[in-house]
Structure 1
Amino acid sequence: MAAVSNDKRPVDIHQSPPLDLSIPYNPAWVKGRTILVTGGAGGFGAAFVRKWAGHGATVIFGDINTEQGDQVARDIQKETGNKNVHFVHCDVTDWQSQVNLFKEAVKLSPHGGIDTVVANAGIAKADILQFPCDLSVAEPKQPKWQMLDVNLTGVMYTSHLAMFYLPRNPGSKNCTPDSDPATAPRDRHLLFLGSVASLAGVPLSPQYAASKHAVLGLFRSLRGTSFAQGIRVNIVCPYYIDTPMMPAFLRIAIAGGGLGKVEDVVDAATRFTADSRILGRGVVVGPKIKLKPDDNGELKYLGEDADIQPSAVWEVYADDFQYTDASVRAIVNSLNAIQKAQGWIGWAKDCLAALAYGVGLGGKK
């Protein structure tokens, strides 16, 4: 069964057709592959490492937090029984540090190559661009753009190194939509972690949104040329996800609309990583809700009683992003509809939960 629909493939961009997410994939397809992950000591990165190691992949991950990274590697080795899980200290904003991570990954790889590179490392924090200046002084101090350093420069370094090392993967072949992921030899895959901020502006976070818009632009540019080296490029753009990175004020701002789950982000990333037939595609991952296209093709929220399977994943930019704005608007309208359907009670419950989380009373879901 094909992993994608039967739509005609674009002739100007070498990519697979729009995804059919109802078609299952097998996460065990990652077995035997070597995967490099930046920012793997926590958040999505640690969840990726745990998932893929559990299915038999060799995973080398880097992070600036040495103590946490070492502990995560030991814990995952113990949980999965997979000894091919390795932590390497890495500061993604430092070129030589990333070079060392890639070199070490090649040494630790059972087959001497890297199959997938996941440019995951990223940060979100208070944005000095929004309120930059003390107006009582003669001129502002030079700002430090830490989010841009990590979220953009670090990702550019990772991408550059991926383009160097992925084609040097022994035994690998050019990726095509016609490959068999169950039997495909060495893969060549670059996976980006974008954000809903890659697609839409985020109030009070212009620096973060700028960095994630840039990652989206990088993905869209690379997917048009990476086929020449047999490399497939994909991107996962999480909506607001229920993690410790999600501050209380944002939880209140979207109260009643729901948060996405880490496991759904991991599932989307695993589909891209495991299925070598998927080239040049991207998805947004949000709260799991019941949606169905109307006669105009726009997604509509059907309510929790609707007799259909809920979904947390939408491909929002099929056919070279022609419908990106419309698709993002459809998702936002759907979330607004959920808020309206749940009413003030749902809004109040989410606000109370957000406040509890902010003062340290929120537990893991």
Structure 2
Amino acid sequence: MNTINRSVFEPNLQRDYGLLTSSVSGTHAIVTGAAGGLGKGIVEELLRHNASVVAADIDTRALHALPQHPNLHIHHVDVTQYASQLALFRYARATFGRIDAVYANAGIATSGYLADVGQVGEQDTPTPPDLNIIDVNVKGVLYTTHLAVQAFREDKRSNARGGIGTNSKPHTRHPSIILTGSFTSFLSSPSTPAAYAASKHAVFSLMRSLATTGEYEGFRCNLVCPWFTPTAMVESSVRILLTGIGMAAAEPVVRAFLIAGMDTSLTGAALVIDTDGLFVIPDTTINSHCAQAFRDRYLSVLKMQHAARVYRTPLILTGGLLTVLSLASGVSYVLRFLRKCK
């Protein structure tokens, strides 16, 4: 840990957190995996600062056990099912009128092991690994972020038309996507939990890509990567391994999620919280000539795609007007030609 430069965000966690959270009031958020652990903590912290929250989870009973609050709305979701997540986002937009922050937090830590240490005899056929963890931690997050970006685009179009519903007044902050990573987003791990590490590496890469897209579409994306935190996801065997090492306290981890979502200066950031505090992993962009050339070309394509979406309606209207004028000109020419023929 000593090889990583500490960021100014560590002291700011205490010094500026109150100023940052003063702007949380009135924002609208979706939190997946909200029924327990860090997700529950995120929901409670958002509500404490007067945000409105849709708390979503597959565990409906645990959702109903959340402390009642006038700004809290609960919704069942199975993040591995696209239709279920689509229903969640439609519910949130119908309830709020717009979405300011999406916390793609749902995830699992236990699954079948990859390359299990068990011996396989000559006559035995290796069984396929259980990749449910990939369905939840990767596919589910891809569904969530896909729908978040679509919602942000629709909100922007609605704001341009004057808004929808009673709560659709445009917010001054760019909307944000906050992904839940892990220390294993960066670290190697033994083969047995490799599927979990692979899922969290994938989420890190997704964050970088979404942050790039968001630069042109007006949204932000950040990643929070906690060290082991005392939640139900940390099994007893892992707690034994952590004896003498320690776990990160839940409160600074939850605060890091609000910082990632509400600090408008942050995008493309990986916030890491361990027993020492909060810091940021440096940008790992490869600056080789070919990589930079490809990135520049890719960004040009993003600009053109964004412009096409923004100006789609004016272009359609202009194209329609030109078509009408062309038809009128054609009809006029035909009429003149017919008169000459007479």
Q: What TM-score results when the alignment is normalised by the length of structure 1?
A: 0.67
Deviations 1:178-204 (A, max 9, x none): xxxxx9625310111000010102233
Q: In 2 relative to 1, CA 241–96 (structure 1 residues): closer, same or farther, beyond 3 Å?
A: same
Aligned residue number for residue 276 of structure 1:
264
Tell whether the 8 Å contact from 1:127 to 1:206 is kept in structure 2 after alignment. no
Distance 1:90 1:130 in 2: 31
CA drift of 1:167 comes to: 2.6
Aligned residue number for residue 193 of structure 2:
205
Distance 2:10 2:284 in 1: 16
Aligned residue number for residue 332 of structure 1:
none
Distance 2:143 2:52 in 1: 22
Deviations 1:10-58 (A, max 9, x none): xxxxxxxx75443413213111010011111111111100110111111
CA drift of 1:264 comes to: 1.1
Aligned residue number for residue 220 of structure 2:
232
Aligned residue number for residue 256 of structure 1:
244
Aligned residue number for residue 123 of structure 1:
108
Paired residues for 1:1-365 under 5 Å = 20-23=9-12, 24-25=16-17, 26-72=20-66, 75-77=67-69, 83-109=70-96, 112-131=97-116, 135-136=120-121, 137-169=123-155, 185-203=172-190, 204-287=192-275, 289=276, 312-318=277-283, 320=285
Q: Secondary structure at the match of 2:113?
A: coil
> What amino acid is aligned across from residue 28 of structure 2 in structure 1?
T
Distance 1:123 1:67 in 2: 18
Tell whether the 8 Å contact from 1:29 to 1:275 is kept in structure 2 after alignment. no
CA RMSD of aligned residues (A): 2.3
Q: Which has the larger radius of gyration?
A: 2
Tell whether the 8 Å contact from 1:53 to 1:59 is kept in structure 2 after alignment. yes
Deviations 1:230-289 (A, max 9, x none): 0111010011112222122222223212110111111111112222222221111111x3
Distance 2:137 2:111 in 1: 14
Deviations 1:109-153 (A, max 9, x none): 1xx110011110000114421417662453223333110000000
Tell whether the 8 Å contact from 1:159 to 1:190 is kept in structure 2 after alignment. yes
Distance 1:102 1:281 in 2: 25
Q: In 2 relative to 1, CA 91–154 (structure 1 residues): closer, same or farther, beyond 3 Å?
A: same
Tell whether the 8 Å contact from 2:271 to 2:278 is kept in structure 1 after alignment. yes
Tell whether the 8 Å contact from 1:93 to 1:149 is kept in structure 2 after alignment. yes
CA drift of 1:62 comes to: 1.1
Tell whether the 8 Å contact from 2:111 to 2:133 is kept in structure 1 after alignment. no
Distance 2:159 2:186 in 1: 33
Distance 2:178 2:46 in 1: 14
Distance 2:233 2:76 in 1: 22
Q: Secondary structure at the match of 1:259?
A: coil
Distance 1:225 1:19 in 2: 26
Return 127-136 or 114-123, whichever deviates more.
Answer: 127-136
Distance 1:132 1:150 in 2: 24
Name the structure where helix makes up a greater proportion of residues.
2
Tell whether the 8 Å contact from 2:226 to 2:274 is kept in structure 1 after alignment. yes
Identity %: 33
Deviations 1:298-347 (A, max 9, x none): xxxxxxxxxxxxxx11112247489xxxxxxxxxxxxxxxxxxxxxxxxx
> What amino acid is aligned across from residue 121 of structure 1 in structure 2?
A
Tell whether the 8 Å contact from 2:112 to 2:129 is kept in structure 1 after alignment. no
Distance 1:105 1:114 in 2: 7
Gaps of 5+ in 2: 1-6, 161-169, 288-342
Give the length in aligned residue pairs: 264
CA drift of 1:64 comes to: 0.5
Tell whether the 8 Å contact from 1:33 to 1:186 is kept in structure 2 after alignment. no
Distance 1:69 1:184 in 2: 28
Distance 2:128 2:89 in 1: 33
Aligned residue number for residue 295 of structure 2:
none
Aligned residue number for residue 329 of structure 1:
none
Distance 1:184 1:162 in 2: 16
Return 195-204 or 114-123, whichever deviates more.
Answer: 195-204
